[in-house]
Amino acid sequence: MAVPIIKHVRAFTVRGGGADYHDQGRDHWIDDNISTPMSKYPAYRESRQSFGINVLGTLVVEIETDTGVTGFAVTTGGEIGAFIVEKHLARFCEGRPVTDIEIMWDQMFNGTLYYGRRGIVLNAISGVDLALWDLLGQVRQEPVYAMIGGPVRDELQFYATGARPDLAKDMGFIGGKMAVQHGPAQGKDGMVAELTRLEKMRNAVGEDFWLMFDCWMSLDVNYATKLATAAHDYGLKWIEEALPPDDYWGYAELRRNVPRGMMVTTGEHEATRWGFRLLLEMECCDILQPDVGWCGGLTELLKISALADAHNKMVVPHGSSVYSYHFVITRHNSPFSEFLMMAPKADEVVPMFSPMLLDEPIPVNGRMKVPDRPGFGVRLSPDLDLNRPYDH
Ligand SMILES: [Mg+2]
């Protein structure tokens, strides 16, 4: 059978939600006084948009074959990502059979190694890689999950990330993860406020519902240890991304410090098998949380997952909607999924990458069957205001 050849790789940018889910309007829980590494500066404390969390915007990568079949993917990356895709990464894909994903990944990574390794370059590589998997699925008329080993269970089950774990419980989720709103700079009063909020939520949801804290890189070992120790009284299941991602030593120490039974999780701002190898070998955490749109794409996530499996660690990807769902359903060491509550008040379930994708599935009663459609099973909304800042 003749394998279609990749003819065009194109990169677009788009603003307002979507893959750059921090790019929201005002009065959204995701931008309401969340503790960050910038919270030590009072001027940047109230809103993450104040220090530029939404500066990048969404990157859309579209890949077309010589037979006119297209695949696409979205990630965070905006105009810089579009530049990297068009001016640098496209050359490693165009002219190749759609099946050559492994060599394309290797050339994209090694060809950018002198300025890449992680960050925006890996976001861009991830976007191309996910678009390649979508394209292969469109060519073969198979869902991505079927091409990477097939499902190991019937459906996904979800915990919810948002401001209202109590409402998430009513919606059928298995747990609720709240963003911490105070860090070391806000001292003891801040910690008391945090614990008070946790206690209130525990009282609202009862004993068995999972409650977690997401600290978005904003604490230090001492503060995180105190918070985890006190939060143990309210059954905190895990403390997430407590420290800056480069502080592997701090994570190892925190993991030794937290109360027995509480998990330390991290990895959403980590990239590649080499970054995750450090987290594993230094015993930094109990659950790895790679973002498939940032860590190197699905090709790399499969390698990270195999490495984690050999260390008896779970891999529960950060957000990323369908790009995570197709992975999670195929892995034994990925027993549940994250769902980001993107309704401004976290009071209803809306598609995670809303309003960017058509056919984007959502959990019902906290559960979801991954749709049996080719590729990642979604389409780009025709209503988007796409911009193509570069070409080649
Ligand atoms: Mg997180």
In the sheet that holds 58-65, the strands lie side by side as: 6-14, 58-65, 70-76
Does residue 76 belong to any structural domain of this protein? yes
Q: Which residues are catalytic?
A: 318
pLDDT score of 265: 98
Domain total in the chain:
2
Domain shared by 80 and 182, yes or no: no
State the distance from the centre of ligand 1 to the C-alpha of 340, rounded, in angstroms: 10
pLDDT score of 18: 78
pLDDT band at 239 (very low <50, low <70, confident <90, very high): very high
Q: Which domain holds residue 292?
A: 147-373
Does residue 33 belong to any structural domain of this protein? no
Average pLDDT, the chain: 96
Residue 235, both tokens: 């059954």
Mean pLDDT across 160-181: 97
* DSSP conformation class of 85: I
pLDDT score of 341: 95
Does residue 72 belong to any structural domain of this protein? yes
Position 182 pLDDT exceeds 80: yes
| CATH code of the domain covering residue 76 | 3.30.390.10
What is the identity of the amino acid at 175? G
pLDDT score of 250: 98
Binding residues for substrate: 22, 48, 338
Task: Write out pLDDT tens, residues 94-146.
Answer: 999 999 999 999 999 999 999 999 999 999 999 999 999 999 999 999 999 99
Domain shared by 173 and 317, yes or no: yes
CA distances from 108 to 117, 122, 147 (A): 11, 9, 22
State the distance from the centre of ligand 1 to the C-alpha of 247, rounded, in angstroms: 16
| CATH code of the domain covering residue 317 | 3.20.20.120
Domain shared by 71 and 202, yes or no: no
Q: Would you say 7 and 66 are in contact if contact means Cβ atoms under 8 Å apart?
A: yes
pLDDT band at 32 (very low <50, low <70, confident <90, very high): confident
State the distance from the centre of ligand 1 to the C-alpha of 318, rounded, in angstroms: 7
CA distances from 352 to 161, 164, 288, 363 (A): 11, 16, 21, 10
Task: Write out pLDDT tens, residues 244-270.
Answer: 999 999 999 999 999 999 999 999 999
Task: Write out pLDDT tens, residues 284-293.
Answer: 999 999 999 9
Residue 175, both tokens: 């747990």
